Amino acid sequence: MTKRAEGKTLAILAADGFEEVELTSPKEAIENAGGKTVIVSLEHGEIEANQHRKHGMKIAVDKTLDEVKADDFDAILIPGGLFSPDTLRTNQKALDFVSAFFEQKKPVFSICHGPQVLISANLVNGRKVTGFKAIQQDLKNAGGIVSDEPVVVDEGLVTSRNPDDLGAFNDKIVEEICEGKHDGQRESVAA
C-alpha cells in the first residue's frame, strides 16, 4: 500500500458523544496512507463514542485544545455524533482552533453533525457543504450552499452526510491532505 500521506498530521477534534465510526474510519484511512493522527479534545483522559445513540468505545485524548495550534497540523477532522459537535460548538477555543485552519488555507473535513461546529464558527456562509439530513436546513440558514450528496468539496472544505458515505469521504480526506493548502480555502463570505 502506498504511503502517500507520510509526513502529514491530521488533528481529530472530538468530545464525548462522537459517532464512533466517523472518527475511527477516517483515522484508519489516514494512518493506512502513512499519515499521523492526533486526538484533540477539551480535557485529558478519554472520550467516549456513541454507536447510533448507544455507548461505544473510549479513546484516549492525545492533546487538549490548550496544548495545540493549527500550525501543528496539516488538516482537521470534525466527526459527527449527537453530542460531540454540540459540546464543541459552544467552546470558543474549539471554534478558534477550527477557524485557524481556514485562515491557514488547510483542509477541513467534517461529517454528519460535525458541520454544526462550522456553523457556530461562522464558516459556512457562501460555501458548498453537506451534512446529516437533520442539519441540512441549519447549514442553509447559515448561508451554506447545501447539496444532499455523499461528499461535497469546496476548495479544501470537505463535508459528508453519514457513516454510509465514509468510503468516499475517506478517499477525499487522503486526497486533500496530500494536496496540502488550498488557496481558495477561506473563511465564509460575510453575510
Could you list the active site residues?
A: 112-113
End-to-end Cα distance, the chain: 45
C-alpha cell at 49: 463514542
Nearest-CA neighbor of 89 among 52, 129, 142, 140? Answer: 142
* Distance from C-alpha of 61 to C-alpha of 156, rounded to nearest angstrom: 26
**Any alpha helices (H) in 73-182, and if so which ranges?**
84-89, 92-103, 115-120, 136-141, 166-179
Kindly report the number of other CB atoms within 10 A of residue 40's CB atom: 23
Cell 465564509 sits on residue? 188
Q: Is residue 190 classed as helix, strand or coil in its secondary structure?
A: coil
